[in-house]
Amino acid sequence: MAADETRRSTRAVYVISVAADLAGCHPQTLRIYERKGLVAPARTGGGSRRYSDDDIALLRRIQELTDEGLNLAGVKRVMELEAEVAELEIRIERLKAEAEEAVADAHRQHRREIVPVSQSVTLYQRRRRG
């Protein structure tokens, strides 16, 4: 994602009524979500809530989960687990890249150590007469 898009998605611009409308719920529901620790909107100097596009996406995800029958504690746990899975996926990708680089380094090192047969040293062994 480009830096401008990231800034745009995290910039808190929506007041609570607009955010509630965009998320398809009541403003009081957003206050409950905030009390339960599901969402943390930005605050203006006067204390008014401001929601970003990322917050709206999060609110929609909360709505999906509650529509499927989860209570808010369940929603919170699912979201924690989803965040953990996302972090682990990033870590796996990083570890895969490191492992691939280590294998490539090992292959490069082995290629340096291989000596062509024409340049190899052979030991002379005298045949025993018996």
Q: Tell me the per-residue pLDDT of 10-37, one tens digit each, with 9 for 90 and over.
A: 788 899 999 999 999 999 999 999 999 9
Q: Compute the distance between CA of residue 39 and CA of residue 49 in angstroms, rounded to an integer.
A: 11
Q: With H, G, I as helix, E, B as strand and everything else as coil, classify residue 43.
A: strand
Which helix (H) or strand (E) segment holds residue 30: the answer is: helix 27-35
Q: Return the pLDDT at 108.
A: 86
Residue 116 has pLDDT above 70, yes or no: no
Q: Which CATH number, 1.10.287.130, 1.10.390.10, 2.70.50.60, 1.10.1660.10, labels domain 3-113?
A: 1.10.1660.10
* pLDDT value for 5: 63
Q: Report the predicted TM-score, pTM, of the whole model to 2 decimal places.
A: 0.68
Neighbours of 9 (CB within 10 A): 14
Domain ranges of the chain: 3-113
